[in-house]
Amino acid sequence: MGSTDTQAQRRNRNQQNEAADQPKQETPKKQEKTYESVVKGMQLDEGIFNVYQDDSKIMFEIPKSELKKDMLWITRLVASPENLSPFLGSGWKMNEQVVQWEEIQGKIYLKTISFNNVADSTDAIFKSVANNNFAPIIGSFKIEGQPKDSSAYLIDVTGFFNQDTKAISALSSGMRSQMQVRRLDSDKSYVESTKSFPINVEVRQVMTYDAGRPPSNSETGLISMKVSQSMIKLPEDKMMPRLADQRVGWFTQRNINYSSDALKGDQVTFLKRWRLEPKDKAAYARGELVEPIKPIVYYLDPATPEKFRKWFKLGIEDWQVAFEAAGFKNAIIAKDPPSPEEDPDWSPEDARYSTVRYIASMTRNAVGPSTADPRTGEIIESDIIWFHNHLRSYRNWYMIQTGAANPKARTLDTPEDEIGEMMRAVIAHEIGHALGLPHNMKASSAYPVESLRNPEFAEEYGVAPTIMDYARLNYIAQPGDGVKRFIRKIGPYDKYSINWGYRYIPNANSPEEEKATLNEWIISKANDRMYRFGGGDGTNPEAQTEDLGDNSMKADAYGMENLKKVVPNLLDWTTKPGEDYSDTEEIYGEIIGQWRRFVGHVITNVGGITENYKSTEQQGVVYEVLPESQQVEAMNWLMKYAFNTPEWLLDEDLLRKIENYGAVNRIRSTQSSFLNSLLDPTRMQRLIEAEAFKGRNTYTIYQLLADTKKGLFSELSTGSEISTYRRNLQRAFVERLEYLMNNEASSFQARQVNIEQSDIRPAVKGELKTLLSDLKTAQSKYTNNRAGNLHLIDLQDRIKEILDMED
């Protein structure tokens, strides 16, 4: 090392020693921000959480007393872009979850809590349940300060609401994929408002996303929507659950109870219902009608047209009579929304309020969702959704189903009282859902068909024992019957089910202590068809949508005869001078749909199995195969109304005003669909199984095939002309048999039927051979009929190809 380097090292050491001798300069400590300085200048809104907000920041002050408390978080649309989805609109709930705020190691975490698996906190297994259901953390926040009494934590939640936080997003993963959402555009997104109330916090956001396929305004490449986030504290005094029973229809909450004495993880199912408790328990016990401590209140949407408000309120309060059966008066109340002067903070998105929302949408529907406490099933809030264009549904159905017997239905300008009564019924139906009641498709089968032609019966009972059935209008009543009421209404089953779910049982201190009483109520009505419950799965003719009466064939024969009377009047009932035929075309298309529904009802009787829920102490079976005579009746009906050419639909003067062509193909495709449904592998398998149990004392697959062939080829025995429509239908029959011979069942059917190993293919093969023989025998009768002769030759060639036969 050179001398120069040595001297430099000495100088450095000397400078370091001199520096060491100098007094050290203290680095000024960073001044800690006080709580007051953090929130200075921010607007305060006091409530369950104190909320601070300014133009750039949102802060929550979370009381320590509210940590680890169960809170329901609801994400809801306030305003949506056009064409977002047919069933999405203002007020639609996009997500709900239970959350807890928790302080851990100097930070605040937001967790989503599940109650799918539970155990008593005093049981040893509780630890295992907790460890195997660890809650996901959806947010983490630095503690920004505490008030002087250290009773709360202040956190900055700006990023949680301004960023694309998936856990509270109004866009599902499927919607993101469909619309090719790339990112949240932060510059075009903001929090519009925050409000805090005694039990809830409400945040309203405007969110804008960069998207490749926006549902509207595609040239912008953007999707903007307004979203509300509601966080509402769940009751600490939990409502006592009521255990469910499949014999009484109810929406339910389920969990697995690992503290059960059963030698399994025990599924516990309880009702979703509002908390109704009598103000005066002594008077209630004496059988007097008593008001509840807290009634169910529904507000109308401020956007509801004035002329419809009366009917919406009636539909809501129609349920009062059902609650009276449960011992409560004024249990459900309809109110107009308060004006801004009356309550400037009122909002339909506020989770404290239940509303009937009116959505300006082309969707033809209405829905009745509710939000329940997953710990107990207590319904916390509900928002009924009415889509404006559902008016169109009832305008059309009223004419189609009742026009033959009902002069008021013979116009597209349905009288206000009539459309109002139908809206009332729809709102009552949706309120029923929000009270906890599911569809009861079995109910309408309780009424004898002929009773629905009786004016007094129809006036008192409507069309079904419950408004929760898809039994909307009386299509059975015939001209001259004198029926005046064609619209559904609250019925006996509604009163029964509300009593069963809501009646206060004073001496029961646990769900188990209620079971005996609840069972007694069911047993007392078990032999009355009016009080049965059932959902439809396509096998039970007693539980179908859009049907009426206790016999599909009788009911839908009346319905078909009414349709035949409507069609010739369509031009008179649906047109006005100076207008086109678009309404006529629409109604005609829906008449085809009604024909399809009637045929579907009857087809269900073939291979049909009734279902009557029972508990083990009740006598008899739950599932029973329909009598052979009823299935034969169904087949005869189908040959008359489904497979005969529907000349009543082929009015040339009418059709040439709405289309240039298409009738032949329309009838072909419709009748082919009927045939495919009738010759469905699962239906055929049910017939095979019924024969396996009952022997020849039931309708069989061989009868099904023979009766279908006989009806569809009735011309062969007489040599009568085979029309274009019938030729199409006969080809469809051969094609369906070819499918059953050569194709596997669909994935759903394959789970129930193995066509290759079942009796289906031998039966089909035998029928094809019989049909081939019949065609050969009839051939000579059509030598002078070119179309018929070529048709029979073609069918023979097709069958030989299917059977792999040589000429």
Which residues make Cβ contacts (< 8 Å) with residue 673, sequence separation at least 6? 596
Domain ranges, ordered by start, for the chain: 35-233, 250-256+268-508, 679-807
Q: What pLDDT does 12 receive?
A: 54
Task: Give the pair of three-digit tokens for residue 239.
Answer: 């409502």
**pLDDT tens-digit readout, 736-790:** 999 999 987 676 667 788 898 999 999 999 999 999 999 999 999 999 999 999 9
**Whole-number Å distance between alpha carbons of 693 and 397:** 42
Task: Give the pair of three-digit tokens for residue 785.
Answer: 């009929």
Bridge partners, residue 210, by sequence = 183, 222
Which residues make Cβ contacts (< 8 Å) with residue 284, sequence separation at least 6? 278, 290, 327, 504, 506
Strand order in the sheet with 266-271: 117-118, 252-257, 266-271
Judged by DSSP in three states, 112 sits in strand
List helix spans (H) across 87-233.
Answer: 125-131, 158-162, 173-178
Q: In the CATH hierarchy, which fold is given to the domain comprising 250-256+268-508?
A: Collagenase (Catalytic Domain) (3.40.390)
Helix (H) or strand (E) holding 155: strand 152-156
Q: What pLDDT does 17 receive?
A: 53
- Give every residue of the chain whose pLDDT is below 70, as ranges: 1-32, 86-87, 119-120, 125-126, 128-132, 258-265, 745, 747-749, 806-807
Q: What pLDDT does 1 receive?
A: 46
For 300-317, the DSSP string reads EPTTS-HHHHHHHHHHHH
Beta strands in 43-170 (DSSP E): 43-45, 50-53, 58-63, 71-79, 93-104, 107-113, 117-118, 137-145, 152-156
Burial of 402 (0-12, 13-18, 19+ CB in 10 A): buried
Q: Average model confidence (pLDDT) for the chain?
A: 91
How many Cα atoms occupy the beta-carbon half-sphere of 391 within 13 Å? Answer: 19
Residue at token pair 């139908």: 422
**pLDDT tens-digit readout, 95-150:** 999 999 999 999 999 999 988 777 667 777 667 666 667 788 999 999 999 999 99
Beta strands in 305-429 (DSSP E): 332-335, 354-359, 366-367, 370-372, 379-387
Of 232, 236, 195, the residue nearest 50 (C-alpha): 195
Of 226, 177, 211, 223, the residue nearest 84 (C-alpha): 223
Burial of 545 (0-12, 13-18, 19+ CB in 10 A): middle
Q: What pLDDT does 679 receive?
A: 97
Q: What pLDDT does 3 receive?
A: 46
Q: What pLDDT does 752 receive?
A: 82
**Whole-number Å distance between alpha carbons of 526 and 618:** 9
CB 118 within 8 A of CB 256: yes
Which amino acid, 634?
Answer: A
Residue at token pair 């929406």: 251
Q: What pLDDT does 4 receive?
A: 46
Bridge partners, residue 137, by sequence = 111
Task: Give the pair of three-digit tokens for residue 408.
Answer: 């008021």
Helix (H) or strand (E) holding 184: strand 181-184
Q: What pLDDT does 52 receive?
A: 95
Task: Give the pair of three-digit tokens for residue 579.
Answer: 């207008």
Burial of 389 (0-12, 13-18, 19+ CB in 10 A): middle
Which amino acid, 410?
Answer: R
